[in-house]
Amino acid sequence: MAIKMEQKTWKYAVSAIQELNPYLPGKPIEEVERELGLEQGTTLKLASNENPLGASPKAIAAVHDSLNDYYLDSSNTSRTMRALELYPDGSGHSLKKKLAKKLSSDNNKISPDQITLGNGSNDVLDLIARSFLTIRRDAVFSEYAFAVYPIITKAVSAGMDIAEANPEDHRMPYGHDLNAMLHQIRGNTYIVFIANPNNPTGTWLNKNELDNFMQQVPSHVIVVVDEAYCEYVDRGVYPNTVDWLSKYPNLIVTRTFSKIYGLAGLRIGYSVSSPEIADLLNRVRQPFNVNSLALLAAEAALDDDEHVARSKRSNLEGLEQWMSACKKRQIDYIPSVANFLTIKVGEHAALIYEALLREGVIVRPIANYNLPQHLRITIGTEEQNNRCIAALDKVMNL
């Protein structure tokens, strides 16, 4: 009877939702240990591009101190945003003010009213889709783009025009082909999503490529440049697109505190745009979509330049370690400037992934991105990388 009810209910859902493939997160450590009977606390997770050095120490201290000040100090009678029984500052005023100052440059002054905060940058991406897409409007993105783009596009019953990616022998294999994306833009196109660097490939676009693309996009089309991994990039030709906002009013830049700042568990991200676009996004944004502790941690993390520099340095060294290991083993990989490397292990990628799980190492299979022969591996510490490489050698018999 229950099955019949489920089937009956299913048909009443919006058809686009019925066809939606949900986001597949990296397998949790606890689940792997429980399912495979592994010793608790021994599993290594390199599947979700989290910072192996952990959260910003300043963010951790700020959260710890604020809760202690309020709940353990009996003389503290003020009821601040740190009190868990109170709603957070719905506008995120203090964080937006600090972000605006951090993002401003000599060429481009950012104001707090250009910033929209989200429960992770995915939340902001969803706000953008709900603000600009309908059943009669389409979004354009690349063939191997971030999985959230088709999800948020389908969720509002909008159409998807998917541009063919660069070929495997390109200098940026599987990366964005901007000319192909331009050709997909039509009269009913209202959003173009571009991840730079791209997930899951790690490929990137340089300043001239992206600027030339922006010049050719019709003014009614919103271009979303998703820069979740931008702080890891160490290339002089990588663009600071926040500086372009005054030149391109149809540009939205999204970023996150989940990656280099290590605050993935608190879920906080943001976008920077024109004040007009930010006003639209804030109209559909859920009240109190960012919690008090996330606001506090993010604000403190912005001051932690040492943690950011250390994380970036560790990642660059880890990328070199992995690329060297791949070359030595003749394993193909996609060039990356992010905090992960996507490697090609062949037709048995799914079996290799499962075998790595049994070794207590979690990586990311990406068949759902139409890359069934590849695995995406988060860059860890030197020790973590060595453990993953050794496990890979074992399961591939290298």
Average pLDDT value for the chain: 93
pLDDT for 277 equals 98
Residues 58-67 have a mean pLDDT of: 91
User: Would you say 113 and 97 are in contact if contact means Cβ atoms under 8 Å apart?
Assistant: no
Decide if pLDDT at 72 tops 90. Answer: no
Per-residue confidence at 80, pLDDT binned at 50, 70, 90? very low
According to CATH, the topology of domain 22-49+306-396 is: Aspartate Aminotransferase, domain 1 (3.90.1150)
Answer yes or no: is pLDDT of 79 > 80: no
For the domain made up of 85-301, give the CATH fold. Aspartate Aminotransferase; domain 2 (3.40.640)
Please report, for the chain, the start and end positions of each structural domain, with discontinuous segments joined by +. 22-49+306-396, 85-301
Give the ranges where 253-291 is alpha helix by DSSP (H). 275-284
Contact between residue 302 and residue 102 where contact means Cβ atoms under 8 Å apart: yes
Average pLDDT over residues 47-67: 94
What is the mean predicted confidence (pLDDT) over 175-204? 98
The pLDDT of 305-334, averaged and rounded, is: 98
Q: What is the pLDDT of residue 16?
A: 80
Give the residue ranges of DSSP H helices in the chain: 2-10, 15-18, 29-36, 57-71, 93-103, 121-132, 148-155, 178-184, 207-216, 275-284, 292-301, 305-329, 349-358, 382-396
Q: Cβ(370)–Cβ(147) under 8 Å?
A: no
pTM of the predicted protein model: 0.93
Share of the chain above pLDDT 90, in %: 85
Q: Decide if 127 contacts 285 (C-beta within 8 A).
A: yes
